[in-house]
Structure 1
Amino acid sequence: MKILSVGWFRKESNTSLHRNLALKKNAKKVDMVECDTIKITLKYRIAYQLFQKGFPIKLPDTIGANKKIKELVTTNEYDIIWIDKGVTINKETLIFIKTKLPLVKIVSFSPDNMVLRHNQSQNYLNSIPFYDFTFTTKSYILEDLKNLGAKNVVFIHKTYGEDFHYPRKLSKKEQKHLGGDVGFIGAWEKERCESILYLVKNGVKVKVFGDGKWNEYKTFSKNLSILPGIFSDEYPKALSALKISLCFLRKMNFDQQTARTMEIPACGGFMMAERTQEHLNLFEEGKEASYFSSNEELLKLCNYFLTHEDERRQIAKAGLKRCHTSGYSNEKTIKKMLDIVLNNE
C-alpha cells in the first residue's frame, strides 16, 4: 500500500504527526506533504477573520502544499491520499488528483468539529464533496457532514500516539516540576477555569500548564500554580507525574471525548474527566477512570483519590491496560480506517 500523507507535522506534540507515523507502520511507502508554516502570515490571519465574518475567502496556501501534491501525484502511484484537516487544500487539487489517479481514494480526517465555522475554511467547504471518505471523531455531526456534501462519513474514537504517549520515567527534578496533586494541561476556557478555581478555593492544590489568559490567575491563590504551556516530551511526562489529571471537554465544540481522553490513561496517568456516555463507553467508571458532572462532585472525588493512593494507582493501571486491549492507539485505529477505505466498493 502506498500513501500520500498531507498534514501538520512540524511539532512533535501535534497529533497529525502521530497519525502520520501510524500510517507509516501500516503502509509500504508513505510520502509526506507539510501544511504547517513556521509562522502564520498577516495575509493568512486576515483571510481567516474575513471567512469567520461570513465572506467566502479561501485561506492562502503559503507553504505551497497544493503544488507539492500535484507534483507528487504526477510522478507517483498511490492507493490513498490521506489529508489531515485540509483547510488549505483546494478543490482544484482534489480534482487534479482524480484526473491523474482515477482509482485512488482521497480521505479527509480531522480531530475537530468540522461543521463549526471556526474550524472550517472556504477551501475545506469547497472540497468536501470531492473526498471519497470523511472520518470524524465527533459522533454527533455525521448527518451535518453529509448535508455539507461529505460521502462515506465514518465516526471513530480519539486515539493516542503509541510512540509518544506512554508512561515515562522521571528524574527527581522533573517530578518536582511536572508533578503535583491535581493538574491540567491546556488552554483557558471559562467553564474549566471555574472548576479549577472551585477546587483551589476548597483547599485542593492545582497545577496548570497553560498560557494566555491563565497568566491572569498567577497570584489568585497559594493553592494554584500557573506554569507555561508544555509540549514535546514534557507533556507525556507531566501526565505520568501528576496524581490526578483533569480532562475537560471543549464546550465550543460540544465534545463528548477529547485527545486527553486517550492520552492521559496511555501515559499511565489517573484521569478525572467530565462524565459523558462516550467516556463511560471508553473507560469503565471507578475502575479505569473517574468522572464528574459538577464541581461539587469533582471536589469530592479529588479529595477521595488524593487520600486513597493504592486505589488511584490501580485505576490508572487499569486505564492504561484498557488503552492497549481495546486498540485505542493510532496504529490500530488507523489500520481499521485503511481497511474501511480499501475494502469499500
Structure 2
Amino acid sequence: MKILSVGSFNGLSNTCVHRNWALKALGEVDMVNMYEKPINFHFKLANKLFNWGFPVKLPDLSNCNLKILELIKKNIYDIVWIDKGWLVQASTLDFIKKHSPETKIVSYSPDNMALRHNQSQQYLESLPLYDYIFTNKSYILSDMKKLGARNISFVNNSYEDSFHYPRILTAKEIESLGGDVGFVGAWEEERYGSMLYLAEHGIKVRVFGGGEWLKHKAKHPNLKIEEIGLHGEDYSKSFRAFKISLCFLRKMNFDQQTTRSLEIPACGGFMLAERTEEHLSLFEEGKEAAYFSSNEELLEKCKYYLLHDDERKSIAEAGRERCEISGYSNKKAIKKMLDEVTG
C-alpha cells in the first residue's frame, strides 16, 4: 500500500508523529509536514480572526499544498492520509480526485472538529471532499454531517506501542518524575480545582504542565507545580513513576476519552480517570482502571489506592494487558481504519 501522509511531524510526543509511524509500518509512506516552518504572528492573527467568525484562511507557511500537488503528479497513492488538515485547500483535494480518482482521501483528527476553535476556513471548505473521516469524538457525528462531512466514523483513541510502554525506572527517575498522585497536561480551571481539593485534604499532588499552572504554584504546600511539562520519554516514564496518574477530560472539547486514557495504562501506570461510558467500555472499573465522578469520590479513591499497593499494581497490570488484548495500539487501530477504506 502506498500512502501520502500529511500532518504535523514535529516532536516525539506528538500523536500525529505516532500515527505516522503506524502508517509506515503498514505501507510505503511519503510525507508532507504542514508545519515544517514555525507559525508566526501572521498565522496567529489569521487564526484569531477566524475564531472571531471571519472567513480568514490560515497562511500556508510551509507550502504544503504545493508539495502535495507535486507528489500527486509523480506518484499513484492508494491513500492520502491527512491528520487535522487545517492548511489543506479544497482545490488540493479536488486536484487529487481529478488526477488520481482511485486514491482514497482520509481525514483524521484527535480534536473536536465540530467546534470552531479546532477548525480553519480551509478545513471547512475541504470537509465535503474527504472520502472517509475518522473521529474519536462519538458525539459530533451529526454536527460534522451538517458541516458537510461524508462517510464519518467514530474510533477510539489509540496509543503508540513503540513509545508508550512500561519502562524500567531507576530510583532517581522515580524521584524526579513521580510521586503519590500526578497529572501531566495543560491547565483547566476544573482540573485545577480537583487537584487543589486533594491537596487541601492531605494528598500530595504533583503537576507537570508549566504555562497557566505557574500562576497557582504557591497555592498549597501539597500541590507541587513544576515549571515545565513533560515530553519525549520522560512523558511515558512519568505514568510509571506516579503511584496514581490522574486522567482529566478537556471540558472545552466535551471529551469522553482522551489520548491519556490509553497512554497511561499502556505505559503500565495506574489510571484514575473521570467516569464516562466510553472510559467504562475501554477498561473495566476496579479491575483495569479506577474512576471518579466527583471530587469527594476522587479523594476517596486516592486515599484507598495509596494504601493498597498490591491492588493498585494489579489493576495497572490488567490495564496494560487490556491495551494489548483489545488492540488499542496505533498499528492495530489504523490498520482497521485502512481496511475499511480499501474495502
Decide: shared fold, TM above 0.5.
yes
Measure, in 2, the Cα distance between the counterparts of 1:95 and 1:75: 17
The yes-or-no answer on 1:30 pairing with 2:29 is yes
Partner of 2:85: 86
Partner of 1:223: 222
Partner of 1:145: 144
Partner of 2:206: 207
Measure, in 1, the Cα distance between the counterparts of 2:314 and 2:170: 22
Q: How far off its partner does 1:24 sit?
A: 1.0
Q: Deviations over 1:83-126 (max 9, x none)?
A: 00000111011011112111100000000000000000000000
SS of 2:284 mapped into structure 1: coil
Measure, in 1, the Cα distance between the counterparts of 2:221 and 2:171: 23
Partner of 2:165: 166
Q: How far off its partner does 1:36 sit?
A: 1.8
The yes-or-no answer on 1:105 pairing with 2:104 is yes
Q: Deviations over 1:196-255 (max 9, x none)?
A: 000000000000001111101221222111111010111000011100000000000000
Partner of 2:252: 252
Aligned letter for 1:316? A
Measure, in 2, the Cα distance between the counterparts of 1:67 and 1:211: 37
Q: How far off its partner does 1:38 sit?
A: 4.6
Long gaps (5+) in structure 2: none
Partner of 1:176: 175
TM-score, normalization by structure 2: 0.99
Partner of 2:120: 121
Measure, in 2, the Cα distance between the counterparts of 1:240 and 1:301: 18
Partner of 1:53: 52
Q: How far off its partner does 1:39 sit?
A: 2.6
Measure, in 2, the Cα distance between the counterparts of 1:131 and 1:237: 37
Q: How far off its partner does 1:37 sit?
A: 4.1
TM-score, normalization by structure 1: 0.98
The yes-or-no answer on 1:289 pairing with 2:279 is no
237-246 vs 93-102, which moves further: 93-102
Partner of 2:40: 41
Aligned letter for 1:209? F
CA contact (8 A) 2:158 2:259 kept: yes
Going from structure 1 to structure 2, the CA distance change for 1:285 and 1:7 (only over 3 Å counts) comes to same
Measure, in 2, the Cα distance between the counterparts of 1:168 and 1:258: 22
Q: How far off its partner does 1:276 sit?
A: 0.3
Partner of 1:328: 328
Measure, in 2, the Cα distance between the counterparts of 1:87 and 1:213: 26
Aligned letter for 1:44? F
Q: Deviations over 1:12-33 (max 9, x none)?
A: 1000000001011111x10011
SS of 1:208 mapped into structure 2: strand
Measure, in 1, the Cα distance between the counterparts of 2:246 and 2:37: 31
SS of 2:181 mapped into structure 1: strand
Measure, in 2, the Cα distance between the counterparts of 1:224 and 1:55: 41
Aligned letter for 1:30? V
Q: Deviations over 1:262-284 (max 9, x none)?
A: 00000000000000000001000
Partner of 1:191: 190
Aligned letter for 1:334? I
Q: How far off its partner does 1:188 sit?
A: 0.4
Partner of 2:238: 238
Partner of 1:73: 72
CA contact (8 A) 2:37 2:62 kept: no
Going from structure 1 to structure 2, the CA distance change for 1:2 and 1:162 (only over 3 Å counts) comes to same
Partner of 1:273: 273
Measure, in 1, the Cα distance between the counterparts of 2:136 and 2:153: 9
Partner of 1:299: 299
Aligned letter for 2:330? N
Long gaps (5+) in structure 1: none
Measure, in 1, the Cα distance between the counterparts of 2:95 and 2:288: 47
CA contact (8 A) 2:3 2:79 kept: yes
Measure, in 2, the Cα distance between the counterparts of 1:299 and 1:192: 13
CA contact (8 A) 2:37 2:61 kept: no
Q: Over aligned residues, Cα RMSD in angstroms?
A: 0.7
SS of 2:232 mapped into structure 1: coil
Measure, in 2, the Cα distance between the counterparts of 1:219 and 1:191: 18
Measure, in 1, the Cα distance between the counterparts of 2:151 and 2:78: 17
Measure, in 1, the Cα distance between the counterparts of 2:142 and 2:39: 33
Aligned letter for 2:312? R
